[in-house]
Amino acid sequence: MIHERNKRILLAGYANDLAEVVPKIAVPSADITLVDEKASDVDVSKAADIVVFVISMDTFYSSQLHSIFVYVHDRVLARQEYLLGIENIDLSKAAFPEIARLPQISIRDLKRMLEGPGPA
């Protein structure tokens, strides 16, 4: 019998935004790590299957989140990275330049992805 490990998901964003997203995507097959505005480099795992940058209206104005997003983008080994906008935000205008070209994902599509087969 082959045992598949849970997908490792890293969500980065404001704590309040993460608290809004997590209940909507939580599935037993995913280990979710949260990195919020109070995180330091020791709080950030070195690898993840999926990294999702959760962006709200206030995110763009936070120099602390900018630093954290760039750190995660540059240092976390991830198979996939996505932008997830909440509050009907226009991600083409609100994402930091370093991550602006990442593909966008909806909460619904992210949950589907997490419910699918685990990583090899």
Q: Which fold has domain 7-113?
A: Rossmann fold (3.40.50)
pTM of the model: 0.90
Q: What is the pLDDT of residues 79-108, one digit of tens each?
A: 999 999 998 888 888 889 999 999 999 999
pLDDT band of residue 56 (cuts 50, 70, 90) is very high
Q: Which residues contact residue 51 at a Cβ distance below 8 angstroms, ignoring those fewer than 6 apart?
A: 9, 10, 12, 72, 73, 76, 78, 80, 81, 82
73, with CB counted inside 10 A (0-12, 13-18, 19+), is middle
Q: Are 10 and 35 in contact (CB under 8 A)?
A: yes
Q: What is the pLDDT of residues 66-83, one digit of tens each?
A: 999 999 999 999 899 999
